[in-house]
């Protein structure tokens, strides 16, 4: 069976699960579907739902924040509304040199559409993308 027959879920390492829970649940508004262990930490992981099913594993690890590229993307219809809601919740959007951004931190996406990036407390980078 090819891997395309199976559901894919992103996993993100964090240095402090309590701080991560405050960010992912408190600021992003994600709902934890379950909590569990991470290595030797009894309550060191969460599985968050998004888009109607489990979508993101967050686990405490010594490798937190070492990924330098975008680790996951939410595809949204109204990027301005989502950026405004996250900004109001205390999420800061990242601006990279060499790109032109609007006041919200949204820029043109390669191939069309728009994109905005933000980071969790460990520096893991996420994006919001919209086709229009």
Are residues 35 and 54 in contact, defined by beta-carbon separation less than 8 angstroms?
no
Total-model pTM? 0.93
What pLDDT digit, counting tens, does each position of 44-85 carry? 999 999 999 999 999 999 989 898 899 999 999 999 999 999
Cα distance between residue 132 and residue 30, in whole Å? 24
What is the domain-level CATH number for residue 85?
Answer: 3.10.180.10
Q: Which residues contact 117 (CB under 8 A, 6 or more apart)?
A: 70, 93, 94, 96, 105, 125, 126, 127
Domain range enclosing 28: 3-130
Count of domains observed in the chain? 1
């Amino acid at each position: 069976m090819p891997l395309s027959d199976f559901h894919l879920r992103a996993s993100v390492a964090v240095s402090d699960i309590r701080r991560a829970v405050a960010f992912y649940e408190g600021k992003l508004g994600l709902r934890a579907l379950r909590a569990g262990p991470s290595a030797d930490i009894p309550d060191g992981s969460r599985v968050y739902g998004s888009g109607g099913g489990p979508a993101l594993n967050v686990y405490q690890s010594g490798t937190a924040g070492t990924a330098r590229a975008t680790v996951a993307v939410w595809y949204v219809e109204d990027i301005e509304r989502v950026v405004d809601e996250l900004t109001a919740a205390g999420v800061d959007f990242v601006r990279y040199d060499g790109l032109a951004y609007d006041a919200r931190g949204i820029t043109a996406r390669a191939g069309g559409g728009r994109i905005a990036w933000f980071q969790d407390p460990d520096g893991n980078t996420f994006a919001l993308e919209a086709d229009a």
